[in-house]
């Protein structure tokens, strides 16, 4: 049994354990891991999400039980203070010692703190560990209590911007200070950096470039920073994120070869100058470089495991530093050589300042291959471009199509099919999973879904950037095996609802028969008819009267069928506000037609027990009194529930009733894949239960918070925050976009919550589409909604004014009799149907 | 309840004795149902435009014994014309009244004839 000691339980140290634990020769090794932090290894890549998580445990890469189950002794909170190479022993800060056969240095790096006078003042932080984040959060809270809101971040690189976002999330007014003349100088060129800067500044952050910090001033805590150009910046706290330095102190002390600027020298087997000692991750100096990315660290961990188990695998000769991430809400990516400029290279650049998108690709002059590139504002092409680059694949005839998209003709990925990639193509660079491994997992029969593949290959389990490509591979591979999983509407239409929506729109199909002729077969059925009816309604805002026969039965009769075949009638009461006069009309109508009355959950009044032939008479009276259809029978907007709000309530912040009425009036009659409910609350006490609705608006200081995709019912879901502190107009704008986007893309009878669950990228993606308008369709969605709003008509009013439509409500074609078979029984001073 | 059901027995075209005029073709909606009355019977009538076919069946849904089938949606399942009950979407073949959801109960169907724009339904009683 060989003894392996791992110093460092960070992401790479953990990866070493994971790979060794999975190795066939695992049993020949005894593994002890030392971590100086108190937590087991956690995901530092997603550190900035810490503030939005309810528990730090969610960032853990593996629980303590995992180490137990794999017989790895994990000693956290224990620091190694020295290594004795002759006797192969390490000493802990408790003066204990442990012997090793193989020692793995995975000590990582520490934040680089420049020597600035006053850097030790209170309120100056680094950004690396969960403890750092806790300290930052605590200090920020304290500042906010004192009415201080100013934070600054020293460092405009990748980590600096992450830190800046974290500070912003804490509610601090955040500035970024960068020494270089541009942001992310290692990944972006000037134009890309400018674009990123504009994006970040539009979110209220200030960027100070070309600033060399000279001194930190402050009585006790930091108050301002002086720069060498005699300018200064007032700030209440400072987070330093100006680069990393390898934690090589143990190596230096025991005489291992280290680099001039730090880092433990390793060869392509990850061996240090002492063959019993390996170094991996950010502490390792490989090819004269330190690599602050997860992917090369993981590869190093794999190589080290290979060598101590007798394998031969060598580290790649060149390290790919391509990266794709989201910084302060902006997509940023860079791959290959992003800057290369010489006679052999042509750079193609696309810049759209309106949308805040910048793309650059560097291609060989002869057009043969892609050498590198940069993307800001939209990195959706990253995976394709990266594969073209890393596999040195042939480029399309017009390489500009790669970033502009094919203009004209069918749009098609530059890659063709993902299956065209070579088997060796690395799809997930974090976990080093090739296309062959992903497809093989499916063709071997061991996996049959995206989730299976992630579990079995680990692809997409780290940063998740390759998720779209893995999804495509899974789909395409299944398809090639004849296992296409297609969600078609029914046997009559071999299309999904979204596809049918697009077809109807594209070909201006006007009715069900035409749809059936062009894209379907048979007569249709009770599944596809209402789906098409809903699509026609959403596109043309036609009421349920225009194509009555394809409406679901309730829509056809504009009422809700109840147990005994009678109907209930629900007039619209926008926002639940009703005058005594109208309330009396409802009472009189109910009394006249002997209807059972009940208050609904949506703040309206339901009148039950109306016979088919009575519906038009009842509605005539209601309409004369100023009522409209409440669409309670439709897959459409039902109600926007409200609390009484600031007009009466002593706690209310804004006038929730007026806003609820405005929203309900705007979206009334809107047909959708399923019913839609809304709510508006006048303060965070949330009396309107708006978060239990498809969209909920809650008043806060400074505006409305907009929540989406909640529901009550069988699987209750709280709506999720989409945007904060909106004024009325912006809130309506986002609602317009959200609703039309949902209507366009949801499956039949899929409510907003399950729709969001299925939406690739989830709420973050939805925010991008709705708030940031990442697809550039914001105005289109708004215009579509505006048109639907303009075309609204009360369908009951239409029906009672048209004798032809009225025929629908005649019980018998060949008789004026009414249905005398109905039986009611009394209940609590009212009536109910005879029980079944 | 059983009494109600007994009132409806399928009639094959060749066994129809009385052909009752129930209206003109224009009185009936296209690709949907409407109800007619014959003595104590309520009969649902459907017109399928794509095949220019007429069907008739009991208006009574045998699932919960409610007079509702004429208000159900029509369509086909693997080419078999059908109606779906508006209460619980139970579906029945309009050709032979069989239950297309695999449950035991079925419905009675009646023959339909169109003559000079008039709709006739055939009964055996």
Q: Which of B66, B72, B73 sits opposite A564 (nearest CB)?
A: B66
Chain A residues whose beta carbon lies within 8 Å of the beta carbon of residue B68: 561, 565
Question: Are A814 and B23 within 8 A, CB to CB?
Answer: yes
CA A766, A767, A772, A776: dihedral to nearest 10 degrees?
A: 10
Q: What is the mean pLDDT of chain A?
A: 90
> Does the beta-carbon distance from B72 to A819 stay under 8 Å?
no
Return d(Cα A35, Cα A7) in angstroms, integer. 7
Query: pLDDT tens digits for A273-295?
Result: 999 999 999 999 999 999 988 88
Q: Which residues of chain B have pLDDT under 50?
A: none
pLDDT at A652 over 50: yes
| β-sheet with A567-569: strand ranges across | A560-561, A567-569, A605-610, A596-599
* pLDDT tens-digit map of A49-101: 888 777 788 889 999 999 999 999 999 999 999 999 999 999 998 889 999 99
Q: What is the pLDDT of residues A204-240, one digit of tens each?
A: 899 999 999 999 999 889 999 999 999 999 999 999 9
Minimum distance, in Å, between the CA of residue A694 and any CA atom of chain B: 26
Contacts with A807 from chain B: Cβ below 8 Å: 27, 29
> Do A239 and A127 meet the contact criterion of CB atoms below 8 Å apart?
yes
Question: Which residue among B35, B78, B89 places its CB closest to the CB of A812?
Answer: B35
For every residue of A28-88, DSSP letters joined together read: GEEEEEEESSSSPPB-STTGGGGGGSS-GGGGBSS-HHHHHHTTEEEEET--EEEEETTTT
Model confidence over A98-109: pLDDT tens digits?
Answer: 999 999 999 999
Q: Do B91 and A523 touch (CB under 8 A)?
A: no
State both tokens at A330. 């902006």
Instruction: Give every CB contact of residue A590 below 8 A, 6+ residues apart in sequence.
Output: A596, A597, A607
Q: Is A693 exposed, middle or buried (0-12, 13-18, 19+ CB in 10 A)?
A: buried
What confidence category does residue A344 fall into, taking pLDDT thresholds of 50, 70 and 90?
Answer: confident
CB contact under 8 A, A525 and B77: yes
Whole-number Å distance between alpha carbons of A433 and A418: 15
For residue A451, the tally of other CB atoms under 10 A from its CB is 10
Q: Quick one: closest CA in B to A552, which residue?
A: B73
Work out the end-to-end distance of chain B between its first and last CA atoms, rounded to an integer number of angstroms: 20
Q: Count Cβ atoms below 10 Å from residue B106 Cβ, excluding itself.
A: 17
Inter-chain touch A492–B75, beta carbons under 8 Å: yes
The per-residue pLDDT for B119 is 93
Distance in angstroms (rounded) separating the CA atoms of residues A248 and A256: 9
- Strands lying side by side in the sheet with A357-364: A323-327, A330-336, A370-376, A357-364, A345-352
A523–B74: do the CB atoms touch at under 8 Å? yes
ipTM for this prediction: 0.91
pLDDT band at A408 (very low <50, low <70, confident <90, very high): very low
Band the pLDDT of A407: cuts 50, 70, 90. Answer: low
Q: State the pLDDT at residue A815.
A: 87
Span A664-694, pLDDT tens digits: 999 999 999 999 999 999 998 999 999 999 9
Strands (E) in A222-369, as ranges, are: 224-227, 232-234, 237-240, 244-246, 264-265, 277-279, 284-285, 323-327, 330-336, 345-352, 357-364
Q: What is the pLDDT of residues A538-596, one digit of tens each?
A: 888 888 888 989 999 899 999 999 998 999 999 999 999 999 999 999 999 999 999 99
Confidence of residue A409 (pLDDT cuts 50, 70, 90): very low
What residues have CB less than 8 Å from A491, skipping those under 6 apart? Answer: A521, A522, A525, B77, B78
Q: A524 contacts in B (CB within 8 Å)?
A: 75-76
Question: Of A704 and A758, which is predicted with more confidence?
Answer: A704
Is B68 within 8 Å of A565 when comparing Cβ atoms? yes
B79: chain A residues, CB-CB within 8 Å: 522
Question: Which helix H or strand E contains A796, and what residues bound it?
Answer: helix A795-801
* Chain B interface with A: residues with Cβ < 8 Å: 21-23, 27-32, 34-37, 42, 45, 48-51, 64-68, 71-79, 81-82, 84, 86-87, 89, 91
Contact A351, A375 (CB under 8 A): no
**A565: nearest CB among B67, B74, B77:** B67
- What average pLDDT score do residues A516-528 get? 91
Pairs of CB atoms within 8 A across A/B: 99
In the structure, what pLDDT confidence band is assigned to residue A405 with cuts at 50, 70 and 90?
Answer: low
Closest by CA to A813, choosing from A612, A619, A553, A554, is: A612
Q: How far apart are CA A825 and CA A830, in angstroms?
A: 9
| Band (A411; pLDDT cuts 50, 70, 90) | very low
Q: How far apart are CA A594 and CA A606, in angstroms?
A: 13
User: Smallest Cα–Cα separation from A600: which of A620, A572, A619?
Assistant: A572
State how far the Cα of B27 lies from the Cα of A44, in Å rounded to an integer: 72
User: Residue written as tokens 């027990």?
Assistant: A609
pLDDT, position B108: 93
The alpha carbon of residue A557 is apart from the nearest alpha carbon of chain B, in Å, by: 9
| Min Cα separation A675/chain B (Å) | 18
For residue B38, the cross-strand partners are B41
Torsion A417-A419-A423-A428 (CA) sign: positive
A815 contact residues in B (CB cutoff 8 A): 36-37
Do A525 and B30 lie within an 8 Å CB cutoff? no
Q: Do B42 and A812 touch (CB under 8 A)?
A: yes
Residue A486 has pLDDT above 70, yes or no: no
**Are A147 and A235 in contact, with CB atoms under 8 Å apart?**
no
Determine the pLDDT at residue A477. Answer: 85
> Cβ contacts (< 8 Å) between A615 and chain B: which residues?
none
Point out the residue among A557, A808, A817 whose CB comes nearest to the CB of B37: A817
């Amino acid at each position: 049994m060989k003894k392996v000691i791992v110093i460092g339980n960070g992401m790479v140290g953990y990866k070493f354990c994971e790979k060794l634990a999975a190795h066939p020769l695992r049993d020949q090794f005894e593994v002890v891991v030392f971590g100086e932090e108190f937590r087991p290894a956690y995901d530092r890549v997603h550190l900035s999400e810490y503030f939005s998580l309810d528990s730090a445990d969610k960032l853990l890469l593996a629980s303590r039980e995992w180490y137990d189950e794999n017989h790895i002794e994990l000693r956290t909170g224990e620091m190694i203070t020295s290594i004795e190479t002759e006797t192969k022993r390490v000493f802990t800060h408790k003066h204990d010692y442990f012997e090793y056969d193989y020692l793995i240095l995975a000590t990582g790096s520490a934040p680089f703190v420049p020597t600035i006078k006053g850097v030790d003042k209170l309120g100056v932080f680094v950004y690396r560990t969960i403890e750092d984040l806790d300290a930052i959060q605590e200090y920020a809270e304290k500042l906010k209590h004192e009415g201080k809101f100013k934070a600054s971040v020293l460092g405009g690189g990748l980590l600096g911007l992450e830190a800046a976002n974290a500070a912003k999330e804490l509610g601090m007014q955040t500035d970024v200070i960068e020494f270089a003349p541009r942001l992310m100088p290692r990944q972006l060129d000037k134009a890309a950096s400018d674009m990123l800067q504009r994006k970040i500044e539009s979110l209220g952050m200030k960027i100070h470039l070309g600033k060399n910090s000279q001194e930190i001033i402050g009585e006790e805590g930091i108050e301002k920073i002086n720069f060498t150009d005699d300018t200064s910046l007032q700030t209440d706290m400072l987070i330093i994120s100006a680069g990393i330095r390898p934690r090589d102190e143990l190596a230096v002390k025991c005489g291992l070869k280290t680099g001039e600027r730090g880092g433990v020298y390793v060869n392509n087997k990850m061996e240090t100058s002492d063959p019993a000692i390996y170094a991996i991750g950010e502490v390792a100096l490989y090819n004269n470089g330190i690599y602050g990315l997860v992917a090369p660290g993981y590869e190093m961990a794999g190589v080290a495991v290979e060598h101590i188990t007798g394998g031969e695998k060598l580290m790649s000769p060149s390290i790919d530093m391509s990266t794709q991430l989201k910084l302060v809400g902006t997509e940023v990516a860079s791959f290959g050589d992003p800057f290369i400029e010489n006679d052999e290279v042509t750079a193609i650049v696309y810049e759209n300042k309106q949308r805040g998108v910048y793309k650059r690709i560097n291609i060989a002059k002869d057009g043969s291959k892609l050498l590198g590139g940069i993307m800001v504002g939209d990195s959706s092409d990253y995976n394709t471009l990266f594969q073209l680059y890393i596999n040195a694949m042939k480029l399309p005839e017009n390489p500009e199509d790669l970033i502009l998209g094919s203009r004209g003709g069918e749009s098609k990925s530059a890659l063709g099919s993902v299956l065209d990639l070579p088997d060796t193509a690395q799809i997930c660079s974090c976990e080093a999973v090739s296309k062959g491994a992903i497809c093989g997992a499916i063709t071997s029969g061991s996996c049959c879904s995206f989730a299976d593949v992630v579990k079995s290959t680990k692809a997409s389990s780290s940063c998740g950037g390759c998720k779209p490509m893995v999804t495509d591979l899974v789909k395409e591979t299944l398809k090639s095996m004849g296992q296409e999983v297609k969600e078609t509407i029914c046997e009559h239409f071999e299309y999904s609802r979204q596809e049918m929506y697009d077809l109807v729109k594209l070909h201006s199909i006007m009715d069900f028969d035409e749809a059936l002729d062009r894209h379907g077969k048979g007569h249709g059925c009770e599944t596809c008819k209402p789906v098409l009816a809903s699509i026609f309604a959403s596109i043309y805002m036609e009421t349920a009267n225009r194509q009555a026969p394809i409406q679901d039965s309730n829509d056809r009769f504009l009422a809700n069928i109840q147990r005994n075949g009678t109907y209930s009638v629900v007039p619209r009461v926008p926002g639940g506000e009703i005058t005594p006069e109208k309330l009396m009309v409802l009472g009189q109508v109910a009394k006249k037609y002997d209807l059972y009355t009940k208050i609904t959950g949506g703040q309206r009044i339901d009148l039950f027990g109306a016979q088919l032939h009575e519906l038009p008479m009842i509605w005539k009276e209601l309409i004369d009194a100023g009522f409209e259809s409440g669409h309670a029978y439709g897959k459409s907007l039902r109600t926007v529930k409200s609390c009484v709000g600031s007009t009466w309530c002593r706690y209310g912040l804004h006038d929730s009733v007026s806003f609820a009425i405005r929203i309900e009036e705007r979206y009334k009659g809107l047909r959708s894949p399923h019913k839609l409910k809304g709510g508006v609350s006048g303060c965070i006490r949330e009396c309107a239960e708006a978060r239990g609705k498809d969209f909920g608006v809650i008043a806060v200081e400074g505006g409305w918070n907009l929540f989406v995709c909640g529901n009550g019912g069988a699987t209750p879901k709280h709506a999720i925050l989409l945007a904060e502190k909106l004024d009325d107009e912006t809130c309506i704008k986002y609602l317009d976009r959200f609703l039309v986007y949902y209507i366009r893309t949801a499956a039949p009878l899929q409510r907003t919550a399950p729709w969001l669950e299925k939406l690739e990228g989830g709420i973050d993606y939805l925010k991008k589409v709705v708030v940031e308008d990442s697809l550039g369709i914001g105005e289109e969605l708004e215009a579509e909604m505006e048109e639907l709003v303009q075309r609204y008509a009360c369908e009951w009013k239409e029906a009672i004014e048209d004798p032809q439509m009225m025929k629908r409500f005649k019980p018998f074609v060949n008789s004026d009799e009414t249905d005398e078979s109905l039986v009611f029984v009394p209940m609590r001073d009212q009536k109910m149907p005879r029980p079944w | 309840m059983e009494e109600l059901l007994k009132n409806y027995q399928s009639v094959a075209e060749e066994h129809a004795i009385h052909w009752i005029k129930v209206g003109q073709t224009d009185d009936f909606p296209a690709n949907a149902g409407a109800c007619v009355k014959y003595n104590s019977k309520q009969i649902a009538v459907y017109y399928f435009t794509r095949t220019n076919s007429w069907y008739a069946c009991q208006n009574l849904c045998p699932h919960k014994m409610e007079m509702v089938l004429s208000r159900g949606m029509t369509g086909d399942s693997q080419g078999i014309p059908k109606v779906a009950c508006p209460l619980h979407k139970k579906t029945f073949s309009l050709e032979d009244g069989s239950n297309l959801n695999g449950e035991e109960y079925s419905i009675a169907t009646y023959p339909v004839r169109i003559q000079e724009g008039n709709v006739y339904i055939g009964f055996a009683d």
